[in-house]
A and B are shown apart, each in its own frame.
Chain A
Amino acid sequence: MTFLPTDEQRAFARSLDAMLTAADTPAAVRAWAGGDPGPGRALWGRLAEAGVSALAIPEEYEGLGLLPVELAHAFVELGRHAVPGPAVETVATAVLLGELARLGEPGPAKRLLPGLASGERTATLTIAGVETVRHTVPYALDADRADTVLVVRGEELWRAPGHGPVRVSADPARRLARPAPGGELLAEGPAVTVAAGQARRWAMLATAAQSLGVGLALLDRTVAYARQRAQFGTPIGAFQAVKHRLADTLLALEFARPLLFGAAVTMTPGDLAAAKVATGEAGYAAARTALQIHGAVGYTEELDLSLWLRKARPLRNAWGDPATCRATVIGAYSRTGS
């Protein structure tokens, strides 16, 4: 057993980090939230060139095959750099279509996958009943910006003709809308349900990875701030109350990280749910700590910290909220008896 990233996986993550660091992602996030999707789409195009959009697409549709571990590495970087847009949803769409093709329904895959693989097109997706136990008709992320809006209802896969009013999330870079009813029926039958289940698992993995990345970025920035911000004549990072809170933040992130990569290796529902809970809670706790330690300056929009602060909570709940995932964990262990 070698539960460590390979040199290639490490190099891939490093190259994405370098590219995103150079790309001024905070400006792209602010533009995306403010109504200009241009820089965000350009960013997605560059990520696609690096191979990110092809990590969940079979080779016969111009993808790189299904590579969940690499995808997890990539989405940690997307989270660390707060990349805007329906990246998770595009991955989930790709998995859904690829799985449908594998189950004997290749039509939608042939039409849509090559565009997703190349990064020329993006997609968003809702699967009824996924987001929370309470809300059975979730909002689609960035339905106004995605080229394709797909909706799974039971055994039917629809391509929506449009979307309702765009509503702003707690994270202004997440634009939410309900898909319009009707449109084109792309596929129906039990295969749709199976493929939607697979899409949901990949969406959980990618969202969990983003949560971890968001938490790591928040911790890095907060540690840097605590080292230079002085009060009572000393850096606040020398105070035990501050140190211990940051130590706890690191602890939660470092024990969530192996759950994320373990889930990427096994892709079992129990491991994915565990990873989703742990990364989501750790990312959100990192946000609370970051805000507390930055104080009032952290409560402002001007500081780039806000871009990550506001992402943490929505990501914690997207594609499986903590209560739903905890129920899945118990269910998985009760059944297997392991």
Chain B
Amino acid sequence: MDLSYTRTEEAFRAEAREWLREHVPAEPLPSLETAEGFAAHRAWEAELAAARWSVVSWPEAYGGRGVGLARWLLFEEEYWAAGAPGRVSQNGVQLLAPTLFDHGTAEQRARVLPSMATGETIWAQAWSEPEAGSDLASLTSRAVRTDGGWLLSGQKTWSSRAAFADRAFGIFRSDPDADRPHRGLTYLMFDLRAPGVTVRPIGRLDGKPAFAELFLDGVFVPDEDVIGEPGQGWRIAMSTTGNERGLMLRSPGRFLAAADRLVRLWETEGEPADSALRDRVADAVIGARAYQLFTAGAAARLPTGAESSLNKVFWSEYDLALHETALDLLGADGELTDGAWAEGYVFSLAGPLYAGTNEIQRDIIAERLLGLPKGRR
């Protein structure tokens, strides 16, 4: 049992650190939830990709470096410690790409992945519907067979960054007569600018406009954009939801950097006598270390699928507590909405909701990890 890095890992870390020191923008980019910020972040993705830092864990053929989990984690630590911008490409990189690696065709990978790696194509997720969130299997948007492809109709919602994204991926009901609700679903990719697509931005809690709902009216999707077999969409989607819940979405590096900033904030703004607030700062430090070490263990032991539910509840509640502590440390200024902590706070509020609500995750933990009986939700 050890926590030391190999020479190869240390060399990789040094290379990443050096590059980031020279290239991370001195001034923070505008929020990626705005049109201006989206464009700036897209340009940053291109810069990362040119030096092959945008998708380090992918095979070299698609623009990556083919590194394993240990080096990916090191890269993330360096990335966030350097104060580098948030990743506008993350829906595609973390959700669609793993699905294509597992279930896509060679043609699809060659066509889709390179432009995803450079930020030329930004992907949005189109899973949730107004009546299908936690109960995703109840979705009703349809895919109807047509000549050479499918026609999509219905409504998708809560689609992060869809207002400015280029393409989307999601699951659709292709066989309404299937005997079980999660059968007869098909997983496919579509163009957000195709005829029949209407994108309506939904202001988030912070008023930023990149969140959106999608109205689809006979949108044509060619057969080549179906992932896996038609009717197998649920199985394919579920096989990669662990990526969304688990560490691919929230690397420990992000929280280590945030906890570090919080300690600095405590040093400048904290009242030494305020032991209650000091304890919360300490808990943020402890939580970041716990998550880092939990991940180090998971990286070495091939975690089970249900473990990503532990991971998801932990990071989402941790992230919120960390930001609440920062706002309390800021005192009256914590109410202002223009700072980095305030933006992070609003983002953290969504953590317990998306990627499967924490109630659903706790059900999974209780049933699959503890062996408690299934019950009505």
What residues make up the interface of A, taking CB atoms closer than 8 Å to B? 1-6, 9, 69, 219, 223, 226-227, 234-235, 237-240, 242-244, 246-248, 250-251, 254-259, 261-262, 264-266, 271, 274, 277-278, 322-323, 325-327, 329-330, 333-334, 338
A325 and B279 CA atoms in complex are apart in Å by: 9
Chain A residues lying within 8 Å of B290, measured Cβ to Cβ, are 255-256, 258-259, 274, 278
Q: How far does the Cβ of A15 sit from chain B's closest Cβ, in whole Å?
A: 18
Q: How far does the Cβ of B81 sit from chain A's closest Cβ, in whole Å?
A: 10
- A338 (CB) vs chain B CBs: closest residue: B260
| Cross-chain contact B1 with A239 (CB below 8 angstroms) | no
| Cross-chain contact A240 with B370 (CB below 8 angstroms) | no
| Cross-chain contact B289 with A6 (CB below 8 angstroms) | no
| Cross-chain contact B278 with A246 (CB below 8 angstroms) | no
5 nearest A-B pairs in the assembled complex, by CB-CB distance: A238-B375, A258-B293, A326-B282, A243-B366, A247-B365
Known: A259-B286, A329-B286. A251 touches B310 (CB 8 A): yes
Chain B residues lying within 8 Å of A278, measured Cβ to Cβ, are 286, 290
How many cross-chain pairs have Cβ atoms below 8 Å apart between A and B? Answer: 152
A323 and B275 CA atoms in complex are apart in Å by: 8
Chain B residues lying within 8 Å of A226, measured Cβ to Cβ, are 372
A237 and B314 CA atoms in complex are apart in Å by: 22
Q: Which B335-359 residues sit within 8 Å CB-CB of chain A?
A: 359
A6 and B260 CA atoms in complex are apart in Å by: 32
| Cross-chain contact A9 with B310 (CB below 8 angstroms) | no
26 cross-chain CB contacts under 8 A:
A1-B2, A1-B3, A1-B5, A227-B372, A237-B366, A240-B359, A240-B362, A244-B362, A246-B370, A247-B363, A254-B294, A254-B310, A255-B291, A255-B310, A257-B294, A258-B293, A259-B289, A261-B297, A274-B285, A278-B290, A325-B282, A326-B282, A327-B275, A327-B278, A330-B282, A334-B267
| Cross-chain contact A323 with B279 (CB below 8 angstroms) | yes
| Cross-chain contact A234 with B1 (CB below 8 angstroms) | no
Chain A residues lying within 8 Å of B282, measured Cβ to Cβ, are 277, 325-327, 329-330
| Cross-chain contact B373 with A238 (CB below 8 angstroms) | yes
A277 and B279 CA atoms in complex are apart in Å by: 10
A256 and B293 CA atoms in complex are apart in Å by: 10
| Interface residue B331 (Cβ < 8 Å from any Cβ of A) | no
| Cross-chain contact B1 with A261 (CB below 8 angstroms) | yes
| Interface residue B35 (Cβ < 8 Å from any Cβ of A) | no
| Cross-chain contact B313 with A251 (CB below 8 angstroms) | yes
Chain B contributes a number of interface residues (CB within 8 A of A) equal to 49
A330 and B281 CA atoms in complex are apart in Å by: 8
A333 and B257 CA atoms in complex are apart in Å by: 12
Q: How far does the Cβ of B362 sit from chain A's closest Cβ, in whole Å?
A: 4
Known: A255-B294, A326-B283, A334-B263. A271 touches B372 (CB 8 A): no
Q: How far does the Cβ of A303 sit from chain B's closest Cβ, in whole Å?
A: 20
Known: A254-B294, A274-B290, A333-B285. A2 touches B300 (CB 8 A): yes
Chain A residues lying within 8 Å of B369, measured Cβ to Cβ, are 247, 250
A333 and B287 CA atoms in complex are apart in Å by: 13
- B5 (CB) vs chain A CBs: closest residue: A1
Between A3, A242, A274, A334, the greatest number of chain B beta carbons within 10 A of the residue's beta carbon is seen for: A3
| Interface residue B70 (Cβ < 8 Å from any Cβ of A) | yes
Q: How far does the Cβ of B280 sit from chain A's closest Cβ, in whole Å?
A: 9
Chain B residues lying within 8 Å of A1, measured Cβ to Cβ, are 2-6, 9, 70, 296, 300
A243 and B4 CA atoms in complex are apart in Å by: 38
| Cross-chain contact A4 with B1 (CB below 8 angstroms) | yes
A251 and B291 CA atoms in complex are apart in Å by: 11
Between B2, B6, B267, B300, the greatest number of chain A beta carbons within 10 A of the residue's beta carbon is seen for: B2
Contact digits for B303-345, partner A, Cβ 8 Å, 1 yes 0 no? 0000000100110000000000000000000000000000000
| Cross-chain contact A3 with B365 (CB below 8 angstroms) | no
| Cross-chain contact B370 with A330 (CB below 8 angstroms) | no
- A249 (CB) vs chain B CBs: closest residue: B370
Known: A244-B359, A277-B282, A330-B278. A3 touches B373 (CB 8 A): no
Among B1, B291, B314, B363, contact of A2 (Cβ-Cβ < 8 Å): B1
- A237 (CB) vs chain B CBs: closest residue: B372
Chain B residues lying within 8 Å of A246, measured Cβ to Cβ, are 366, 370, 372
| Interface residue B7 (Cβ < 8 Å from any Cβ of A) | no
Known: A258-B297, A271-B289, A326-B279. A266 touches B3 (CB 8 A): yes
Chain A residues lying within 8 Å of B367, measured Cβ to Cβ, are 243
Between B2, B286, B373, the greatest number of chain A beta carbons within 10 A of the residue's beta carbon is seen for: B286
| Interface residue B180 (Cβ < 8 Å from any Cβ of A) | no
| Cross-chain contact A277 with B286 (CB below 8 angstroms) | yes
Q: How far does the Cβ of A200 sit from chain B's closest Cβ, in whole Å?
A: 19
- A260 (CB) vs chain B CBs: closest residue: B293
Q: How far does the Cβ of B310 sit from chain A's closest Cβ, in whole Å?
A: 6
Known: A250-B370, A251-B365. A240 touches B375 (CB 8 A): yes
Between B279, B290, B359, B367, the greatest number of chain A beta carbons within 10 A of the residue's beta carbon is seen for: B290
Chain A residues lying within 8 Å of B207, measured Cβ to Cβ, are none
| Cross-chain contact B371 with A227 (CB below 8 angstroms) | yes
- B364 (CB) vs chain A CBs: closest residue: A247
Q: How far does the Cβ of A13 sit from chain B's closest Cβ, in whole Å?
A: 12
A2 and B286 CA atoms in complex are apart in Å by: 21
| Cross-chain contact B300 with A4 (CB below 8 angstroms) | yes
Chain B residues lying within 8 Å of A235, measured Cβ to Cβ, are 373
A278 and B284 CA atoms in complex are apart in Å by: 11
| Cross-chain contact A9 with B286 (CB below 8 angstroms) | no
